[in-house]
Structure 1
């Protein structure tokens, strides 16, 4: 039988209550649930509003403020610029797919480490660090190639969307769209 979704209630005093264990928990406890891949949902105790994303964002904010941030200011600014942009929905999916691919690569590396060093690699941080130091340049090469391929796919997607827009909107009388072929040919003859 599949385990039910773990329910956490957030009370007006900002305390989190885990209904499974009947105890109050902290953001650090919620982070542990995430790290252990436990499915949960955080609901406002009064309104029933889903606060899961808000709590996860709080955890990210705490991690980013702890001294070893994952995101640069430039990345955060670029992400903010996508809000309200027509590409917002696509960007979310793009990031999600790239994180999934990165996670897949990480699992393959962990499998390789187990094959080389045995089953205790997850427990022995030093062995894992040595493995990553050995595999670091190769990993950077794989990720660089992946990013290049991803950028090419994204560029092709943009070109396809532009071509579809030209086909769709070509019958409508928009000034300058599609570009006047006679004006282009006259410009080429000069």
Structure 2
């Protein structure tokens, strides 16, 4: 029989992993008591591990800058996700009145796309080789359905963002 203390501890979510960044640019994982690389931090992201990166001296949260550094390395590594035009457009939103709305819009779109991708991956787990062959033959209509759903969600989010901007800035149609 478990004690109340042990039972309560098992119900709490795991503590957030803390990674310390030292002035020599090294990253120290306090969970494993070892130095780790940026590639290992990327793996934590891929494994959906909850973590925070803190400056070892000031305790400042550096998580965003480390994530941006990972994106920068990925973009420079051969098959970039963003075109120069897309990056330029993102930069143009900084300091613009729509900056907050655009960040939220991008985040919601990426989340919607991730959910669609997860559904597709989950459905594909149950496919036999014969079903895979059938799936590949009808992939185009199926992908159109999935992408149509994504595009519709994206349009709905854009419409909501537009309504919020109009309300915030008193713009009438």
- Range into which the TM-score falls when normalised by the shorter chain: 0.7 to 0.9
Determine the C-alpha separation between the residues in 1 that align with 2:15 and 2:160: 42
Task: Report the equivalent of 2:40.
Answer: 29
- Displacement of 1:134 after TM fit? 5.9
1:88 to 91, 96, 99: 99
Task: Give secondary structure in 2 for the equivalent of 1:147.
Answer: helix
Cα deviation for residue 23 of structure 1 reads 0.3
The match for 2:154 is: 150
Deviations 1:137-159 (A, max 9, x none): 63255325533563365246536
Matches within 5 A, 1:87-106: 87-106=98-117
TM-score, reference length from structure 1 = 0.72
2:142 corresponds to 1:138:
yes
Alignment of 1:57-68 (within 5 A): 57-68=68-79
Larger radius of gyration: 1
Aligned residues: 157
Greater length-normalized contact order (CA 8 Å, ≥ 6 residues apart):
2
Shift of 1:107: 1.0
Q: Is the 8 A contact 1:43 1:50 kept in 2?
A: yes
CA offsets 1:83-106 (integer angstroms, 9 cap, x no match)? 001111111111111111111101
Task: Give the gaps of 5 or more residues in structure 2.
Answer: 1-9
Aligned equivalent of 1:117: 128
The answer to whether the 8 A contact 1:9-1:16 is kept is yes
Alignment check: 8 A CA contact 1:11 1:46 kept: yes
What is the RMSD of the two structures over their aligned residues, measured on CA atoms?
2.8
More deviation in 33-42 or 138-147?
138-147
Runs of 4+ residues deviating >4 angstroms = 130-134
3-state SS of paired residue (1:43): strand
Give 1:3 deviation, angstroms.
1.2
